[in-house]
Amino acid sequence: MQTIKEKKPKKHNETSIRVSGAEAIIHCLLAEDVNLIYGYPGGAIMPVYDELYKFQDKLHHVLTRHEQGATHAAQGFARVTGKVGVAIATSGPGATNLVTGLADAQIDSTPMVCITGQVPRHLLGSDAFQETDIIGISTPVTKWNYQITRAAEIPEIMAKAFYIAKSGRPGPVLIDITKNAQFEEFDFSYSRCIGVRSYNPSPKPEIEKIKAAAELINNAKRPYIVFGHGVILGKAEKQLQTLVEKAGIPAAWTILGLSAMDTDHPLNVGMVGMHGNYGPNVLTNECDVLIAIGMRFDDRVTGNLETYAKQAKVIHFEIDPAEIDKNVKADVAILGNAQESLDLLLPLIKANKHDDWHNKFKKCYEEEYEAVIKNDLYPTKEGLTMGEVIKEINLASGNKAVIVSDVGQHQMIACRYAQFKQTKSNITSGGLGTMGFALPAAIGAKMGAMNREVVAIIGDGGFQMTIQELATIFQNKTPVKIVVLNNGHLGMVRQWQELFFESRYASTVMTNPDFVKIAEGYHIEAKKVEKREDLKATVQAMMASKEPFFLEVCVENEDNVFPMIPSGASVSDIRLK
């Protein structure tokens, strides 16, 4: 335990009280300002649930219908609030059901603490009922994990868990607690953790590197910014906008960076990546300075690395040293929190405009508009498009809603066309691509932002992966708006089958149930739209409702998402059709 360095314990916490380990966990959560957790009870975590019952006026527990739902709800809460999301489960299957959510939070840098019960210490390693080595299982998908076997360890480990989850590049932490440690009594006192000897969460930006970056930016003819989640996590939205405006630099976003900058900002040129906008992709290979801020050059962003921005000097603002030169070699790498780094950079940046360069993006947009966007948003064919549904949601919400998307075609369309005026408004499973993410994540997002509209955009495939969370919505009367874009297929896989597997639709055709009846079975008001003339009014009615609302929109079955960079191709080779 010598790893934890606590400097100034809070005075009011200095006196200790005699409590059980289970009660101590509740006190730890309260001390970390947690008042909402998601979970599912079971044998090995029952002592903690017993305490949750006693503390229900201070700590609200939301019973999801599956542990995976608890993790995604915690993620949705974390992403919309910037706080640590908390999920709790029992040992064995309860714990293994958390794995997808942990992996999702790990790859999308989401602060989350998961607490699992474990068999009593004396049964560890005996293959006891519901024993599983969740520490071993969760190691590759957690930022940190730890098994507590003695109650006295609880305060220090819980403090460390919260500190690690939220500091630096955030991520998930799993704490496994044996049942005996939950029963044991000890003298409890709590101090927040403020440092771990072996862990440097946020390196200080080097001023020499900042100067080098400023010089490159000031001398650039065709500078180009690509920003990601790090801007949101680092609270650097204002600094980003100032940089963009002062230096006149076109800026594009990764799907996790979306909403860090207003979508209607004139210098916001759109989305990079496989289904991103045309200009942001092809012009990556024409810029002379590429300024990457809080993004990690994921393969879905870069396409073929051999032909990615080879002509450009690359400046990489990044908090995680392991991301530097991992995929794209940086000419100038600035380690540190995005806000801190940009604050140091901004005074060195000269006011500038790059109108000719910016016009290239506009020209590309016009080309994309004619070839793709017009048909997506204002279709003339009979079938409904996913794009026009998103457009109607934008209109009905005044671009103010939190959009939670699942994974697949509808996700790409939602990210392409959703409009945002506020940060932390786009919640999606980016890195892991977890189908089933959106419905539970929307529950967490709504509970984290009760004053905002939260709209889940889900495909008919992903919806059925966590459909049972409709019960959570009903039981908690959580007024989320659920939009299922039903094309009767696993649309993205079907699109790939059409394009790359000669239309052999192997297991991508879905015979679906009556979703409206299912939603109504959960006592959620539900509507189905099959014709364009019904769309606008129904979306408006949904947005006007104060209750949970389910909307199924039957869209064209075999539409494809374009533009598209085929897997392994260059960003320059993005296809418009």
Binding residues for another protein, how many (CB under 8 A)?
24
Q: How far is the CB of 517 from another protein (least distance, A)?
A: 45
Query: DSSP letter at 331?
Result: S
152-171 footprint of another protein as x/- string (CB under 8 A): ------------x-------
DSSP H/E element including 186? strand 185-188
Both tokens assigned to 156 = 């220090």
Closer of 5 and 353 to another protein (Cβ): 5
Q: What sign does the CA torsion over 324, 268, 81, 100 have?
A: negative
- Verify binding: residue 447, another protein, rule CB under 8 A: no
277/296 Cα distance (integer angstroms):
19
Closer of 2 and 451 to another protein (Cβ): 2
Both tokens assigned to 154 = 């609880």
Q: Report yes or no: 200 and 38 within 8 Å, Cβ to Cβ.
A: no
Looking up tokens 């075609």 gives: 409
Closer of 3 and 567 to another protein (Cβ): 3
Q: How far is the CB of 134 from another protein (least distance, A)?
A: 12
Closer of 196 and 371 to another protein (Cβ): 196
Q: Candidates 39-47, 141-149, 265-273, 493-501 — which segment interacts with another protein by CB under 8 A?
A: 141-149
Full strand arrangement of the beta sheet holding 223-227 = 268-271, 251-253, 223-227, 289-293, 313-318, 332-335
Q: How far is the CB of 322 from another protein (least distance, A)?
A: 4
Q: How far is the CB of 164 from another protein (least distance, A)?
A: 6
Q: How far is the CB of 3 from another protein (least distance, A)?
A: 5
Residue numbers annotated as active site: 67, 129-130, 179, 492
Closer of 198 and 511 to another protein (Cβ): 198
Q: Candidates 27-35, 63-71, 138-146, 399-407 — which segment interacts with another protein by CB under 8 A?
A: 138-146
100/138 Cα distance (integer angstroms):
10
SS3 411: helix
Q: How far is the CB of 254 from another protein (least distance, A)?
A: 21
- Verify binding: residue 144, another protein, rule CB under 8 A: yes
The single residue among 9, 136, 521, 568 that binds another protein, judged by CB under 8 A, is 136
Rounded to 10 degrees, the C-alpha dihedral 219/224/230/231 comes to 80
Geometric angle at alpha carbon 189, from 186 and 193, rounded to 5°: 125
The single residue among 9, 125, 140, 513 that binds another protein, judged by CB under 8 A, is 140
303-332: contacts with another protein (CB under 8 A)? 320-322, 324-326
Q: Candidates 1-9, 15-23, 48-56, 512-520 — which segment interacts with another protein by CB under 8 A?
A: 1-9
C-alpha distances (whole Å) from 468 to each of 227, 319, 439, 440, 570 are 35, 38, 9, 9, 40
168-207 footprint of another protein as x/- string (CB under 8 A): ---------------------------xxxxx--------
Q: Report yes or no: 345 and 255 within 8 Å, Cβ to Cβ.
A: no
Concatenated DSSP letters of 116-151: EEE--GGGTTTT-TT---HHHHHGGG-SEEEEE-SG
Q: How far is the CB of 306 from another protein (least distance, A)?
A: 14
Question: What does the binding site for another protein look like in residue numbers (CB under 8 A)?
Answer: 2-3, 5, 135-136, 139-140, 143-147, 164, 195-199, 320-322, 324-326
